[in-house]
Amino acid sequence: GNSVTQMEGPVTLSEEAFLTINCTYTATGYPSLFWYVQYPGEGLQLLLKATKADDKGSNKGFEATYRKETTSFHLEKGSVQVSDSAVYFCALSDLGFQKLVFGTGTRLLVSP
Amino acid sequence: KAGVTQTPRYLIKTRGQQVTLSCSPISGHRSVSWYQQTPGQGLQFLFEYFSETQRNKGNFPGRFSGRQFSNSRSEMNVSTLELGDSALYLCASSLGQRSGNTIYFGEGSWLTVV
């Protein structure tokens, strides 16, 4: 079945450092790919998405590119802030279905 | 416009009881899906409804059920609660017409079973 693999956390960075969170997927066909963020005690917020190969999703300084050849959708940000501390989830949606398959999540801790 | 609204936000139940959680999707969204989030199992898909019909179901026992009303609002029910049902239950909505539609989540309902 379809699956998503994320790098283990926590990822600990200093403010203004460069962030990469790796995400790879296994899927039949060409799923849509998403990054969601969860702040403590809250639900999931969509961060960005990409619906086809080579698409780049971006939002709030975060970026991710849909790489079909490497089945990856790595999340990057050039300069993180303390307020970016949260858990980040990579997900794919099964073709034709409104169902998300999530990775295990990566906790990001940013210190001043 | 208003986001996905879930009620109640927090609740405590006793083993063996049942619980009903409610979800109001974003206006115009016809697909509503439910997810369970636990520290051990992560985010797991429960089921999805579109125009009052269940289109997709995850691997959960029959104690977990749901329904959708004509106004797209949805409820999920868990009967004969077990300690392991303690979790954050997330409702999500989307237009539901094709893959790639953005799926928006509510704040969740925190269920504690004691």
Q: What is the pLDDT of residues B55-83, one digit of tens each?
A: 889 999 999 999 999 999 999 999 999 99
- Of B86 and A41, the structure prediction assigns the larger pLDDT to B86
Contacts of B51 in chain A (CB under 8 A): none
Neighbours of A111 (CB within 10 A): 10
d(CA B49, CA B100) in angstroms, rounded, equals: 17
Neighbours of B86 (CB within 10 A): 15
CB contact under 8 A, A98 and B102: no
Tokens representing residue A24 in the block: 């790879």
- Smallest Cβ distance to B48: which of A46, A98, A101? A98
A3–B contact, CB cutoff 8 A: no
Determine which of A3-12, A88-97, B34-43 has the lowest per-residue pLDDT on average.
Answer: A88-97
The mean per-residue pLDDT over the stretch A45-63 comes to: 95
Asked if residue A24 has pLDDT above 70, the reply is: yes
pLDDT score, position A17: 97
Strand-pairing partners, residue A38, are A44, A87
pLDDT score, position A3: 93
Asked if residue B90 has pLDDT above 90, the reply is: yes
d(CA A111, CA B25) in angstroms, rounded, equals: 36
d(CA A39, CA A36) in angstroms, rounded, equals: 10
**Pair A49, A36: CB distance under 8 Å:** no
Close Cβ partners of B110 (under 8 Å, ≥ 6 residues apart) = B9, B10, B11, B88
Return the residue matching tokens 């693999």.
A5
How far does Cα B61 stand from its chain's mean position?
A: 15
Strand-pairing partners, residue B19, are B78
- Residue A1 distance to chain B (closest CA, Å): 13
Mutation target for A interface from B23, B43, B47, B104: give the one with most A CBs within 10 A: B43
Tokens representing residue B31 in the block: 């697909």
Q: How confident is residue B99, by pLDDT bands cut at 50, 70 and 90?
A: low
Asked if residue B98 has pLDDT above 80, the reply is: no
CB contact under 8 A, A100 and B98: no
pLDDT score, position A95: 61
CB contact under 8 A, B98 and A96: yes
pLDDT score, position A89: 97
Nearest Cα neighbor of A97 from B36, B67, B100, B22 is B100
Q: How confident is residue A29, by pLDDT bands cut at 50, 70 and 90?
A: confident
User: Closest chain B residue to A97 measured between Cα atoms?
Assistant: B99
CB contact under 8 A, B99 and A46: no
Strand-pairing partners, residue B21, are B76
CB contact under 8 A, A42 and B102: no
**Pair B63, B79: CB distance under 8 Å:** yes
